[in-house]
């Protein structure tokens, strides 16, 4: 055996004995690396005479090829074994139950506000907003509720500390350029004033939002939600009001048999004023809207107030009552939400109990649209 053969056999058995890729690479470097013995043998060919070289070269080339093949084969088998053992150790148990991902839900009040905006948008109404911290001029005076109006009393309205209702002008409210004493708005009606002062006439808007009163029992919470409506143009009359509310309630409750009754009433900001009642029946202890309130088994339920905007209110808001007229309405959002979705305690709306929210909440993916239906059921 030549010296070359001996070294080759040693190298091949070392390659065969390599138990991982790192050991195999050591063998590759030792033989075929830049300073590996096979490489040095190949290099030595350069120092030989052409005859010597012709004799020696084929044997060295053959050894180099044989070792390279052996390394490649061993590498493949080590890699296959590594994959094999990885597969064996990394099995995934697909029978484990997946952990639950908590998902929020849309509060019924938000859902109903979205439904309102969708239905009224279809009737050409814009959505307006106003501040919840309001001054008494926008909340009362400009709505034709003068200093002696009972709603202005402390026990009905939340005033800010420096603003006793019978005190002098409040310093902080003057500093922010507001008119009069600061309070938490008691209704969404001041948005009528702000919108008319800002944009003049004509107007066609709704203004949903939070309102505050010093009140608390099963049907009253200190904070609740209203939606205001205002339509001002040249020839608007009570007939438009009735049609608008009927059209809205039919779309909202998804029933054609909605019957409204306009009952004469009084509000300082409308003249004439009406209260809006809807016919309903009792089905299994639940109030279901629909039908004429005077029919057998039916009754009327009040949903809100409305009327023709008092000319004095238009004047306060800088709109000429000789040229413009229109109607306004105010509805309780929480109440119509309770009616539509069958809830019975208003206080639960604002307790933030996750169980209630899970039960009555809406999927964030159920956006109300007129085409797909505004009446998603929880």
Stretch that binds ligand DAH, among 174-182, 236-244, 285-293, 299-307 (CB under 6 A): 299-307
In angstroms, the CA 212 to CA 337 distance is 18
Please tell me whether residue 330 binds ligand DAH under the rule CB under 6 A: yes
Q: Please report, as residue ranges, which positions from 204 to 263 form the binding site for ligand DAH (by CB under 6 A).
A: 228
- 8 A C-beta contact, residue 285 and residue 314: no
Q: Please report, as residue ranges, which positions from 148 to 167 form the binding site for ligand DAH (by CB under 6 A).
A: none
Among 12, 306, 313, 324, binds ligand DAH (CB under 6 A): 306
Give the nearer residue to ligand DAH in terms of CB position, either 57 or 238.
238
Give the nearer residue to ligand DAH in terms of CB position, either 36 or 330.
330
In angstroms, give the least distance from the CB of 170 to ligand DAH: 23
Give the nearer residue to ligand DAH in terms of CB position, either 130 or 307.
307
Please tell me whether residue 173 binds ligand DAH under the rule CB under 6 A: no
In angstroms, give the least distance from the CB of 117 to ligand DAH: 17
Please tell me whether residue 362 binds ligand DAH under the rule CB under 6 A: no
Among 24, 317, 328, 339, binds ligand DAH (CB under 6 A): 328
In angstroms, the CA 299 to CA 99 distance is 50
Q: Which residue has the tokens 């009163």?
A: 213
Give the nearer residue to ligand DAH in terms of CB position, either 330 or 361.
330
In angstroms, give the least distance from the CB of 369 to ligand DAH: 27
φ, ψ for residue 270, nearest 5 deg: -135, 150
In angstroms, the CA 369 to CA 74 distance is 66
Please tell me whether residue 125 binds ligand DAH under the rule CB under 6 A: no
| 95 dihedral zone (left: phi>0; alpha: psi -120 to 50; beta) | alpha
Burial of 88-103, coded b for 16+ CB within 10 Å and e otherwise, reads eeeeeeeeeeeeeeee
Furthest CA-CA distance within the chain: 127
**DSSP alpha helices (H): ranges in the chain?**
3-17, 21-32, 37-44, 50-89, 108-122, 136-139, 171-175, 190-199, 238-253, 311-316, 333-341, 354-360
In angstroms, the CA 270 to CA 311 distance is 8
Among 224, 249, 267, 280, binds ligand DAH (CB under 6 A): 267
Stretch that binds ligand DAH, among 85-93, 243-251, 327-335, 353-361 (CB under 6 A): 327-335
DSSP state string for 147-179: TT-GGGSTTTS-B-TT--TTSS--HHHHHTT-S
Using CB under 6 A, count the residues that bind ligand DAH.
11
Give the nearer residue to ligand DAH in terms of CB position, either 178 or 273.
273
Please tell me whether residue 194 binds ligand DAH under the rule CB under 6 A: no
Among 252, 329, 360, 362, binds ligand DAH (CB under 6 A): 329
Please tell me whether residue 270 binds ligand DAH under the rule CB under 6 A: yes
In angstroms, the CA 359 to CA 105 distance is 10
φ, ψ for residue 74, nearest 5 deg: -65, -40
In angstroms, give the least distance from the CB of 360 to ligand DAH: 25
In angstroms, give the least distance from the CB of 257 to ligand DAH: 25
In angstroms, the CA 360 to CA 107 distance is 8
Among 279, 291, 305, 361, binds ligand DAH (CB under 6 A): 305
Among 28, 187, 225, 340, binds ligand DAH (CB under 6 A): 187
Coil, strand or helix at 278: strand
Q: Which residue has the tokens 């809406």?
A: 362
Q: What residues make contact with ligand DAH under the rule CB under 6 A? A: 187, 189, 228, 267, 270, 305-307, 328-330
């Amino acid at each position: 055996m030549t010296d070359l053969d001996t070294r080759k056999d040693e190298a091949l058995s070392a390659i065969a004995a390599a138990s991982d890729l790192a050991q195999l690479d050591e063998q590759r470097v030792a033989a075929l690396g830049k300073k590996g013995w096979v490489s040095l043998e190949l290099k030595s060919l350069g120092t030989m005479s052409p005859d010597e070289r012709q004799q020696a070269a084929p044997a060295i080339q053959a050894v180099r090829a044989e070792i390279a093949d052996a390394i490649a084969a061993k590498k493949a088998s080590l890699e296959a074994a590594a994959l094999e053992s990885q597969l064996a150790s990394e099995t995934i148990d697909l029978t484990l139950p997946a952990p639950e991902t908590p998902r929020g839900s849309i509060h019924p009040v938000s859902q109903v506000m979205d439904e309102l905006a969708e239905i009224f948008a279809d009737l050409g109404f814009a959505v307006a907003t106003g501040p919840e911290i309001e001054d008494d001029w926008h909340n009362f005076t400009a709505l034709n509720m003068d200093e002696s109006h009972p709603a202005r009393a402390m026990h009905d309205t939340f005033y800010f500390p420096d603003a006793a209702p019978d005190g002098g002008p409040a310093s902080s409210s003057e500093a922010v350029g507001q008119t009069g004493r600061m309070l938490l708005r008691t209704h969404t009606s001041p948005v009528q004033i702000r919108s008319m002062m800002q944009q003049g006439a004509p107007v066609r808007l709704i203004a949903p939002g939070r309102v505050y009163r010093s009140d608390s029992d099963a049907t009253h919470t200190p904070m609740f939600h209203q939606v205001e409506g205002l339509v001002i143009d040249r020839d608007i009359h009570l007939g438009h009001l009735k049609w608008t509310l009927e059209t809205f309630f039919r779309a909202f409750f998804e029933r054609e048999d909605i019957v409204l009754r306009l009952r004469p009433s009084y509000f300082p900001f409308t003249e004439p004023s009406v209260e809006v009642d809807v016919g309903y029946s009792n089905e299994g202890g639940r109030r279901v809207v629909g039908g004429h309130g005077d029919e057998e088994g039916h009754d009327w339920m009040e949903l809100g107030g409305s009327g023709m905007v008092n000319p004095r209110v238009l004047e306060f808001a800088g709109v000429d009552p000789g040229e413009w007229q229109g109607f306004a309405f105010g509805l309780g959002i929480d109440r119509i939400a309770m009616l539509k979705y069958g809830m019975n305690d208003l206080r639960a709306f604002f307790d933030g109990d996750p169980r209630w929210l899970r039960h009555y909440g809406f999927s964030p993916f159920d956006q109300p649209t007129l085409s797909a239906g505004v009446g998603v059921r929880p």
